[in-house]
Amino acid sequence: QKEVEQDPGPLSVPEGAIVSLNCTYSNSAFQYFMWYRQYSRKGPELLMYTYSSGNKEDGRFTAQVDKSSKYISLFIRDSQPSDSATYLCALGGGSARQLTFGSGTQLTVLP
């Protein structure tokens, strides 16, 4: 079993839809949670990060963490074609501060 599981998609939605992206994890040692957006052939771009359970909102993006269920989500409201990318969840913890990534979900927002 992988430490972090992420639905690979692909996911295709119409413009304006609400998108829900999810990851589950097995290691309780993870202490901080991030979402990255990666356009084709580019490096990952940090979207959201949080250190605790609950919701964190930034514009059209909401990150949700449920440590008791070991489940994290990213919601995108009013999705735009420019949101089309691969979304990666990343979890960290411990002294080395290495990140463990999900496999990524490929999202396409259709105009």
Partner 1 sequence: ETGVTQSPTHLIKTRGQQVTLRCSSQSGHNTVSWYQQALGQGPQFIFQYYREEENGRGNFPPRFSGLQFPNYSSELNVNALELDDSALYLCASSTTEQGVAFFGQGTRLTVV
Is residue 49 within the footprint of partner 1 (CB under 8 A)? Answer: yes
Dihedral through CA 11, CA 13, CA 19, CA 20, nearest 10? -30
| 1 is an interface residue for partner 1 by CB under 8 A | no
Stretch that binds partner 1, among 3-11, 13-21, 62-70, 73-81 (CB under 8 A): 3-11
Q: Amino acid identity of 105?
A: T
Bridge-based pairing of strands 45-50 and 99-101 is unpaired
Assess 40 for contact with partner 1 (CB under 8 A): no
Query: Which lies closer to partner 1 via its Cβ, residue 2 or residue 77?
Result: 2
Q: Which amino acid is at 98?
A: Q
Residue 50 CB, nearest distance to partner 1 (Å)? 10
